[in-house]
A and B are shown apart, each in its own frame.
Chain A
Amino acid sequence: MKDLIRIRSLISAEVESLLNQQVKKEATSSSIYLAMASWCNRNGYDYSSDYFFKQAEEERQHQLKFYKYILDMGGNAISPDVTGIKQEYNSFREVFEEALDQEISVTQSIKNIYARCLKEQDFVTNEFLNWFLKEQREEEYKARRALELFEVIGEEGTGRWQIDKHVGGIKYDSEA
């Protein structure tokens, strides 16, 4: 008996479902960043607003990358529902704390898919995920650096204005 499902789809149903969950996660991430951009803009943090707009766009690109991969492998990519996005934040600092939490949760989720693929010996998907693992290094680095500005500069006086100015300059150009 031929393995007909394998002929139609390179990835297993479980991996497909995990990848679809990741599509949703990236879409949610993108929406969260968009809400953060709006909050920062409304509260006068222009540079941070721009930073989050860029992040939102990046997450959207990640979402599409997963989406197209599922389709390329013969799977069924599901356009996700994104609801319940938090629109209000208590403080400037809280925005960045949640941004870092968000990135950590994305990394964990990708690690989870990676582990599943290793178990199934789905090396093709592992190879695809390598790009995202590297990307997460940058994402977590940037989120951590932004939060560290609150410690280094301090929020007193014109501190938040300084922090906002420096957020725009955060870059990850490590050769490692």
Chain B
Amino acid sequence: MVTTLITDPQTSTWSDVFSTQNGAVYQCDAERCWYVDFAGKVAKFDYRCLLKLKKAVYNVDIEAKLLDSSKDPDVEIIFICACDHTYILTLLQIIALKEILEGAFVMLQLNHIIQDRLYRIAL
């Protein structure tokens, strides 16, 4: 489920997962979801949709697009199946979004390792 919000991303219950100059990913523990602040909007993603977004963005062949000399507009539509949300992005935005998602997933992985290795033993 994806919902576009107009609220300020700095809601107190949101944790910063990863951010760059171009955007950010926040996690909301209470709602068990993530908020992606990118391209002028904040969109809510649950686990499945976030994975689908990651897959869709990672699947864009950036190198092929850069080498493409045809006169087609430099725009990519990121459509996520079963999500009521679509991104229409330029190549530079795709690169920026990919950077954010890569960073976010590394941080989520790191969080998982910390939870798994540290808390499992501490608790």
Q: Which residues of A contact B (CB under 8 A)?
A: 1-9, 12-13, 76, 121
- B1-45 toward A: CB 8 Å interface, digit per residue (1/0)? 000000000000001010000000001010011100000000000
Whether the Cβ atoms of A4 and B15 lie closer than 8 Å is no
Q: Which residues of B contact A (CB under 8 A)?
A: 15, 17, 27, 29, 32-34, 47-48, 51, 108, 111-112, 115-116
- Determine the chain A residues whose CB is within 8 A of the CB of B48 once the complex forms: 76
Whether the Cβ atoms of A3 and B47 lie closer than 8 Å is no
A2-B119 Cα distance, complex, nearest whole Å: 11
Whether the Cβ atoms of A1 and B47 lie closer than 8 Å is no
CB distance from B64 to the nearest CB of A (A): 23
CB distance from B57 to the nearest CB of A (A): 15
Whether the Cβ atoms of A4 and B47 lie closer than 8 Å is yes
Given contacts A6-B116, A8-B47, contact A1 B111 (CB under 8 A): yes
Whether the Cβ atoms of A4 and B29 lie closer than 8 Å is yes
Whether the Cβ atoms of A1 and B112 lie closer than 8 Å is no
- Can you show 29 pairs from A to B with CB atoms below 8 A apart? A1-B15, A1-B17, A1-B27, A1-B29, A1-B111, A2-B27, A2-B29, A2-B32, A3-B108, A3-B111, A3-B112, A3-B115, A3-B116, A4-B29, A4-B32, A4-B33, A4-B34, A4-B47, A4-B108, A5-B47, A5-B108, A5-B112, A6-B112, A6-B115, A7-B32, A9-B47, A12-B112, A13-B51, A76-B51
Closest to A4 in B: B32
A13-B29 Cα distance, complex, nearest whole Å: 20
A121-B29 Cα distance, complex, nearest whole Å: 25
Closest to A12 in B: B112
A172-B27 Cα distance, complex, nearest whole Å: 53
- Determine the chain A residues whose CB is within 8 A of the CB of B33 once the complex forms: 4
- Determine the chain B residues whose CB is within 8 A of the CB of A3 once the complex forms: 108, 111-112, 115-116
